[in-house]
Amino acid sequence: MQGKRVLVGIGGGIAAYKVCEVISTLAKAGAEVRAILTESAQAFITPLTIATLSRHPAYTNQDFWQASHHRPLHIELGEWAEVFLIAPLTANTLGKLAYGLADNLLTNTVLASACPVLLAPAMNTEMWEQQSVQRNWQLVQSDRRYHAVGPGSGILACDRVGAGRMAEPPELLAHLESLLHTRGDRDLTGKHFLISAGGTREHLDPVRFIGNPSTGKMGIALAQAALHRGATVTLVHAPMDTGLLTGLRGARLISVVSAAEMHRALLECFPDADWTVMAAAVGDVSPAEYSAEKLPKRSLPTTLNLNFVPDIVADLSSRKQPHQTIIGFAAQTGDIITPALDKLHRKKLDAIVANPVDISGSGFGSDQNQAVFLDSQGNQVVIAQCSKLQMAHHLFDFVKTLPLSDTDLSN
Q: Which fold has domain 5-182?
A: Rossmann fold (3.40.50)
DSSP state of 92: H
367, pLDDT greater than 50: yes
Residue-averaged pLDDT of the chain: 93
Which of 157, 243, 218, 238 minimizes the C-alpha distance to 390? 218
Q: What is the CA radius of gyration of the chain?
A: 24
411, pLDDT greater than 50: no
In 10 A of CB 284, how many CB atoms? 14
Rounded Cα distance, 394 and 388, in Å: 10
DSSP string, 382-398: EEEEEEHHHHHHHHHHH
Domain ranges of the chain: 5-182, 192-400
Enumerate the β-bridge partners of residue 276: 194, 326
Same fold, 5-182 and 192-400: yes
Give residue-wise pLDDT tens across range 301-331: 999 999 999 999 999 999 999 999 999 999 9
Which of 249, 62, 41, 264 minimizes the C-alpha distance to 165? 249
DSSP state of 59: B
Enumerate the β-bridge partners of residue 326: 276
Q: Dihedral of CA 217/219/225/231: which sign?
A: negative
The whole-number pLDDT of residue 404 equals: 47
Percent of the chain with pLDDT over 70: 97
406, pLDDT greater than 80: no
Rounded Cα distance, 277 and 211, in Å: 21
Percent of the chain with pLDDT over 90: 84
> In which band, very low, low, confident or very high, does the pLDDT at 274 lie, cut at 50, 70 and 90?
very high
Query: What is 192-400's CATH number, 3.40.630.10, 3.40.50.720, 3.40.50.1820, 3.40.50.10300?
Result: 3.40.50.10300
- In the sheet where 146-148 sits, what is the strand order? 32-37, 5-10, 83-89, 117-121, 146-148
> In which band, very low, low, confident or very high, does the pLDDT at 35 lie, cut at 50, 70 and 90?
very high
Taking residues 80-92, report their average pLDDT: 97
> Is residue 306 a contact partner of residue 209, using CB atoms and an 8 Å limit?
no
Q: Looking at mean pLDDT, say which of 111-120, 145-154, 290-299, 398-407 comes out highest.
A: 111-120
Rounded Cα distance, 304 and 89, in Å: 58
The whole-number pLDDT of residue 409 equals: 46
Give residue-wise pLDDT tens across range 210-252: 999 999 999 999 999 999 999 999 999 999 998 889 889 899 9
Angle at 339 between CA 397 and CA 286, to 5 degrees: 105
Buried b (16+ CB within 10 A) or exposed e, 66-80: eeeeeeebbeebbee
Taking residues 176-183, report their average pLDDT: 97
* Active-site residue set: 158
Rounded Cα distance, 122 and 89, in Å: 6
